[in-house]
């Protein structure tokens, strides 16, 4: 009887851990999808509140890192809201900024988590975004972008943290917008620099990032280097070789081209 009870307790504990893992993975997916719905409608105040208060929090975007929640606010509220929607929180008539979020792969690391509450657990997730954006012709004279319409493809490799209250927050959001195209000509004619990288930091640039990413770690179409995976191969258990993550020109030697991208440099 004693052995049977011990085995039952082990089974229950294993099931508890599995349910916790599955629940945490789903909560991470949900917070990221909610992020997507908020940015679709320029609800930047709501976006900022999805982030952790941790001093390690940041957003990486267009070659810059906005650190801590103050930096996150500077990007979404001071930069995006001011430019896209004239400083309001919410959409403006005739401005499209849809960001469908898809293909989520989520993993959770409990190695540094509190054994009782789970606080401190770290989630890592990869998502794809396919943006459709632009300004309707009826608003061309009023909106600073004028009439325009474009597509954008990008990948996220993010980290999330489980807080003391049991909720999940965004810890590190890394967005790599790796191709752009307009409706008329597609993406084949877009050149590097179509969307410029950050060049100055805060406070020299009042809405700039806290730091700049090294030039060889910036990527924009037609650069097609691999955005690093937070996970190893599910069968071999191995990471992708760095040389295979480079993107030399056809038949050229990778040694003569930019190094592989890294998530934290």
pLDDT in tens, 84-100: 999 999 999 999 999 99
Angle, CA 161 vertex, CA 155 and CA 164 arms, to 5°: 160
pLDDT digit string (tens) for 132-183? 999 999 999 999 999 999 999 999 999 999 999 999 999 999 999 989 898 8
Helix (H) or strand (E) holding 26: helix 2-40
Whether residue 227 is predicted with pLDDT greater than 70 in this model: the reply is yes
Mean pLDDT, all residues of the chain: 95
Classify residue 255 by burial, with Cβ atoms within 10 Å: 0-12, 13-18, 19+: exposed
- Domain span at residue 208? 2-256
Establish if 261 belongs to a structural domain: no
Q: What is the pLDDT of residue 259?
A: 97
Whether residue 196 is predicted with pLDDT greater than 80 in this model: the reply is yes
- Count of CA atoms in the C-beta half-sphere (13 A) of 101: 21
Establish if 265 belongs to a structural domain: no
pTM equals 0.94
Establish if 262 belongs to a structural domain: no
Q: What is the pLDDT of residue 182?
A: 87
Whether residue 190 is predicted with pLDDT greater than 90 in this model: the reply is no
Whether residue 221 is predicted with pLDDT greater than 80 in this model: the reply is yes
CATH number of the domain to which 30 belongs:
3.10.450.50
Q: What is the pLDDT of residue 191?
A: 67
Establish if 50 belongs to a structural domain: yes
Contact 261, 227 (CB under 8 A): yes
pLDDT > 70: percent of the chain: 98
Residue 75 backbone dihedrals phi, psi, to 5 degrees: -70, -55
pLDDT digit string (tens) for 5-60? 888 889 999 999 999 999 999 999 999 999 999 999 999 999 999 999 999 999 99
Establish if 36 belongs to a structural domain: yes
Establish if 120 belongs to a structural domain: yes
Query: Comparing 163-167, 193-197, 239-243, 261-265, which segment has the lowest mean pLDDT?
Result: 193-197
- How many domains does the structure of the chain reveal? 1
């Amino acid at each position: 009887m004693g052995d049977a009870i011990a085995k039952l307790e082990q089974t229950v504990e294993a099931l508890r851990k599995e349910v916790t893992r599955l629940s945490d993975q789903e909560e991470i997916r949900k917070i990221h999808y909610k992020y997507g719905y908020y940015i679709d409608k320029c609800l930047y105040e709501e976006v900022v509140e999805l982030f952790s208060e941790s001093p390690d929090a940041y957003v990486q975007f267009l070659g810059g890192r906005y650190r801590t929640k103050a930096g996150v606010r500077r990007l979404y509220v001071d930069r995006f809201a001011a430019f896209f929607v004239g400083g309001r929180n919410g959409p403006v008539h005739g401005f499209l900024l849809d960001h469908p979020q898809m293909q989520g792969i989520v993993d959770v690391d409990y190695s540094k988590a509190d054994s009782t509450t789970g606080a401190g657990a770290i989630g890592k997730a990869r998502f794809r975004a396919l943006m459709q954006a632009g300004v309707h012709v009826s608003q061309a004279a009023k909106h600073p972008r004028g009439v325009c319409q474009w597509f954008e493809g990008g990948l996220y490799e993010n980290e999330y943290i489980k807080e003391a209250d049991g909720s999940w927050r965004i810890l590190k959001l890394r967005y790599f917008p790796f191709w752009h195209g307009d409706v008329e000509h597609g993406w084949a004619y877009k050149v590097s620099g179509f969307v410029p990288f950050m060049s100055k930091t805060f406070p020299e640039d009042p809405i700039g990032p806290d730091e700049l990413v090294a030039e060889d770690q910036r990527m924009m179409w037609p650069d097609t280097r691999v955005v690093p995976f937070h996970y190893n191969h599910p069968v071999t258990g191995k990471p992708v070789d760095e040389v295979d993550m480079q993107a030399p020109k056809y038949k050229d030697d990778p040694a003569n081209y930019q190094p592989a991208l890294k998530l934290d440099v």
